[in-house]
Amino acid sequence: MNEDEGTGRHLQEEGDGILRAKLEAVGQPKTRVASFRLSLEAHSKMTDMADAAGISARAWLEQAVLDNRTRILARTKPHPEFKPLLFQAAKAGNNLNQLAHRFNALRLEGRLTGEECNAAMKTLEAIRELFAESVAHARSY
């Protein structure tokens, strides 16, 4: 075995050890505190980078140290109107499901023909597709 193969194997084993430690830590309660002091400038820079990445300073620092990631890319922030839109779309989706169940119940009771029920279901499906398109469009902003 040459020197490069030995070094490669060592790095592989070291990487496996880190991965194993991470897997063991998943689901473990966080019971240890690590703290240190920073200058105002360093703290400001760290919190600015965390804000730009869309995560907390603690999460940014944890990724930087444990994952050796000092460049953490920003997450795209949704438009401020997206969350209310999504909430309204979910409420409308629930209403569409309730209507579908009601139409089916009416059909089973004989108060709605199969053709009428199918027509109503097609209309509900078209409305659902419009909601899905609207949400997809809103996500792109």
pLDDT digits (tens, 9 = 90+) for 31-52: 888 888 889 998 998 888 888 8
| CB of 109 closer than 8 Å to CB of 48 | no
The confidence score (pLDDT) of residue 16 equals 52
Sequence-distant (6+) residues with CB within 8 A of 76 are 54
User: Which of 6-10, 21-25, 89-93 is predicted least confidently?
Assistant: 6-10
The confidence score (pLDDT) of residue 40 equals 92
The confidence score (pLDDT) of residue 26 equals 58
pLDDT at 109 over 70: yes
What is the pLDDT averaged over residues 62-75?
Answer: 74
What is the pLDDT averaged over residues 67-78?
Answer: 70
Q: How far apart are CA 72 and CA 50, in angstroms?
A: 8
What is the pLDDT averaged over residues 98-107?
Answer: 92
- Going by pLDDT thresholds of 50, 70 and 90, the confidence category of residue 11 is very low
| CB of 56 closer than 8 Å to CB of 50 | yes
**Cα–Cα separations (whole angstroms), residue 43 to 31, 74, 75:** 24, 18, 21
| CB of 66 closer than 8 Å to CB of 43 | no
The confidence score (pLDDT) of residue 14 equals 47
Closest CA to 58 of 81, 78, 35, 79: 35
Highest mean pLDDT among 26-30, 50-54, 70-74, 78-82: 50-54
The whole-chain average pLDDT of the chain stands at 78
